[in-house]
Structure 1
Amino acid sequence: MLHPDDFDVSEAWIDEGLPINAFGRALRRRFGGRIQRVSIDAGFTCPNVDGAVTRGGCNFCDNRSFSPSRRVRLKQVHDQLTSGIVTVRKRYDKVAGFIAYFQPATNTYAPVEQLREVYELAIGINQEPEFTDQVVGLAIGTRPDCVPESVLSLIQELADRTYVSLEYGMQTIHDEGLRWMNRAHTHADMVNAIDRSRGRGFEMCAHVILGIPGETHAMMMATAAEVGRLGFDAIKLHNLYAVRGTPLGEQVLAGEIEMMKRDDYVRTVVDFLELVPPRVVVERISGDAPPDFLIEPKWCLEKSALRLAVEAEFANRGTRQGSRYAPPKIDPANRPIPHDATPESIRSKIETRGRLPVLKMEDR
């Protein structure tokens, strides 16, 4: 297996005749084989759920799964990862390794030493005889207002030992859209976070939602341009979708909001990716939810067909990712490092001793 340090972030995908710099292929080049992510729920909450910045959570999110009353034991985190590895190995014949993906809620929102404990647990699976060298890295989903210097230093330390991707919920660069979602942070928080994250040895991934009510095509393309301006290493594109039991779901059922049409979404994805730098890895081009919970759009359940439609649109245009990319006037590497703008209400919960009441972990 290749060591991550041997990986050259190149545009090999172009030589291979591919329309986008797809995640699966990029991981194969990096690690020498198929890499699968295993999702882990470590019991974290969010600052727009517990009241640190607001309450209610994002309007599209099923907050029942992020309830502050949850308790997750360390052994449960361990078992989620190991059982996930076993399940994936039964499904696929050849898997070179696994990425422990801390996905639900905000996975940097806890006292920093508690974060260390959880992350180290995932890496430590490699010391168990039946899982030797199985975990090749970490993916950590978070918000841009939840990465004070203490957290970034910890993640940088981990990145010196293993592959780490820090996935930021950017969603959009437009503050009106962020307010509509009830994110309770601004795009300025995103800029502050990535400018402090750059050059620390871990990857930075932007999670973006297309189809936000009130956003025009031009506004979504402005978000695309920002991916290159800020210097993200990877991107996840998701269509806005509505699930039952959420404020957005209620609005869709009431006929107040319509989801993006499939053909419009395909064209928008291709337009978006044409503006994204070729070096940026595309981790996803759509999102979905379990059929029993999904309200709309139903077309997002057809992931393979959607991917083929995006590829066909690129082929019809004779373009690829980055075809219309315009480098920013200031190279991202030369952007100044700003002061840490983490809100005090969030910092106080991360840079505190002990454990958060919402996250009581025990060894057994």
Structure 2
Amino acid sequence: MKLKFRQYGMRFYPRGSNFAPPNPPPPPRLVVFPVNRDSDSDASKSCNDQAWIAEGLPINAFGKALRRRFGGRVQRVSIDAGFTCPNVDGAVTRGGCNFCDNRSFSPSRRVRLKQVHDQLTGGIITVRKRYNKVAGFIAYFQPATNTYAPVEQLREVYELALSLNDSPDFHDEVVGLAIGTRPDCLPESVLSLIEELAQRTYVSLEYGMQTIHDAGLVWMNRAHTHADMVNAIDRSRGRGFEMCGHVILGIPGETHEMMMQTAAEIGRLGFDAIKLHNLYAVHGTPLGDQVLAGEVRMMEREIYLQTVVDFLERIPPDVVVERISGDAPSDFLIEPKWCLEKSSLRSDVEAELARRGTRQGSHFVPPAQPPADRPVPEDKTPDSIRAKIETRGRLPVLKMES
């Protein structure tokens, strides 16, 4: 199986024609919302701190946060565990997100668990060749919805990744898990499983939030609402795992003000980490067809850069920034071509923060109700999704090696 180590979560963003940076408010006090972890153990310390400010950095960057936590470079290895999505298989709708190549998430795909093992070991070997010193690896369950299967099947897959630590060739090299999912695929049974795993290892749960505006979610064919996101994170908080929000900037119809409202929600809900993605269109997707037909245009680089800086200024300083842009392989990418130059974009974002004399969190306004004080709501996972997760047996998308 050919291994892929780029970030392939197909997230897309059209031109923000109504972009108009607002006058920034005065810098408020800095507020920390700590993750509920055992502070007596170095291995369990949260990445969420403000050491980056003392170091004079402009952003609470993921790589630096992991170094502080684990004592060295930590690399993620992407794993395709063969899952699908409820907006692909018909549980909530069909067609999938308009930015994804759903052929790769089709239920007709078969991924054996041995292949999951091989993806992880192969990824570790590849990274070892690239970097001389790596403190550990995070098994990143990335494509599709990685909590959308019978819960005992999920346990089996997650435990398979962690069991690599028992191998003499990879002893204690897997320092944690990252699990990408949708907010409507987190019933209590799944959250309890992830909480259990987080007592033993670092776990980051990545929620496909995308935007707080339901019109944008409809445009993407997500088939969930922002209320689903609020319900999921309010039930996740304080369980010992880190909560990462994935956000799309520049959805058609969203103004600059609307995107900044999404930024404010990051602090209101108490996310521990965030991923920001630019819109890119790839071949074989509904969005790609729209771009080729001239119906949707990508955000220009300068507008995206300014929007990202505005966004970073408005999120809490303790939120770890896992990425500020996304890309795709050049042979699949339609537009924008500038997203292939990630390092220069990162440098320009930091330069713009320096020019403004600001940093991440400079214009963060703490919510009236601290996230830790928010009540835990009733589990509102849709019945059609719950039926797929809280069932005995196995889904056909994963089969054991015979």
Smaller-chain TM-score range?
over 0.9
- Structure 1: any 5+ residue segments left out of the alignment? none
Asked if residue 161 in structure 1 is aligned to residue 200 in structure 2, the reply is yes
SS at match of 2:116: helix
CA–CA distance in structure 2, aligned partners of residues 274 and 296 of structure 1: 27
Q: Deviations over 1:13-49 (max 9, x none)?
A: 0111111000000000000000000000000000000
Q: Which residue of 2 aligns with 1:362?
A: 400
In structure 1, what is the equivalent of residue 346 of structure 2?
307
In the alignment, does 2:322 pair up with 1:322? no
CA distance in 2, matches of 1:248, 1:177: 13
Letter in structure 1 aligned against 2:275: K
| Alignment partner, residue 184 of structure 1 | 223
Instruction: Name 1:91's counterpart in structure 2.
Output: 130
Residues 167-207 of structure 1: CA distance to partner in whole angstroms, max 9, x if unpaired?
00000000000000000000000000000000000000000
Query: Displacement, 1:3?
Result: 3.2
**How far did residue 4 of structure 1 move?**
2.4
CA contact (8 A) 2:112 2:399 kept: yes
Q: Distance between the aligned counterparts of 1:327 and 1:7, measured in 2? A: 20
Amino acid at match of 1:305: S
Give, in whole Å, the separation in 2 of the partners of 1:9 and 1:23.
10
Q: Report sequence identity in percent.
A: 81
Q: CA deviation at 1:337?
A: 0.3
CA 1:257 to 1:294, structure 2 compared with 1: closer, same or farther past 3 Å? same
Instruction: Return the offset for 1:5.
Output: 2.4
The secondary structure found in structure 2 opposite 1:319 is coil
Using the TM superposition, give the Cα deviation of residue 356 of structure 1 relative to its aligned residue in structure 2, in angstroms. 1.2
What do residues 258-303 of structure 1 show as CA deviations (whole Å, max 9, x unaligned)? 1100000000000000000000000000001000011011100000
Q: How many angstroms apart in 2 are the aligned matches of 1:363 and 1:356?
A: 15
1:58 to 82, 87, 97: 97
| Aligned residue in 2 for 1:41 | 80
Pick one of 341, 347, 350 that aligns with 2:380: 341
Aligned residue among 204, 211, 218 for 2:250: 211
Aligned length: 362
| Larger helix fraction of residues | 1
Q: Partner of 1:306: helix, strand, or coil?
A: helix
- Matched with 1:110 is 149
Identify which range, 291-300 or 9-18, moves more after superposition.
Answer: 9-18
2:401 alignment partner AA:
D
Provide the rounded CA distance (Å) in 2 between the counterparts of 1:133 and 1:350: 30
| CA 1:361–1:228: 2 relative to 1, 3 Å | same
Residues 162/252 of structure 1: CA separation in 2 closer, same or farther (3 Å cut): same
Residue pairs, 1:154-303, within 5 angstroms: 154-303=193-342
What CA distance in whole angstroms lies between the structure 1 residues aligned with 2:43 and 2:245? 21
2:189 maps to a residue whose letter is S
Structure 2 residue runs of 5 or longer lacking an equivalent are: 1-40
In the TM superposition, what is the alpha-carbon distance from 1:8 to its structure 2 partner?
7.0
| Alignment match of 2:107 (pick from 31, 50, 68) | 68
Q: Deviations over 1:233-266 (max 9, x none)?
A: 0000001111001000000000001110000000
1:147 alignment partner, one of 170, 178, 186: 186
| Contact 1:7/1:29, CA 8 A, preserved across alignment | no
Mapped to 1, the partners of 2:203 and 2:392 lie a distance apart of: 25
Tell me the alpha carbon deviations over residues 63-94 of structure 1, each in whole angstroms, 9 at most, x when there is no partner: 11111101111100000000000000000111
> RCO (CA 8 Å, sep 6+): is it higher in 1 or 2?
2
User: Which letter does structure 1 place at the counterpart of 2:108?
Assistant: S
Provide the aligned C-alpha RMSD in A: 0.9
Q: Is the 1:143–1:168 contact (alpha carbons within 8 Å) kept by the matching residues of 2?
A: yes
| TM-score scaled by length of structure 2 | 0.89
Separation in structure 2 between the aligned mates of residue 9 and residue 280 of structure 1, nearest angstrom:
6
Measure how far apart 1:6 and its partner are.
4.3
Q: Which residue of 2 aligns with 1:21?
A: 60
Amino acid at match of 1:161: R
**TM-aligned CA deviation for residue 360 of structure 1:** 3.0
- Give TM-score, length-normalised by structure 1: 0.98
Q: CA deviation at 1:7?
A: 5.0
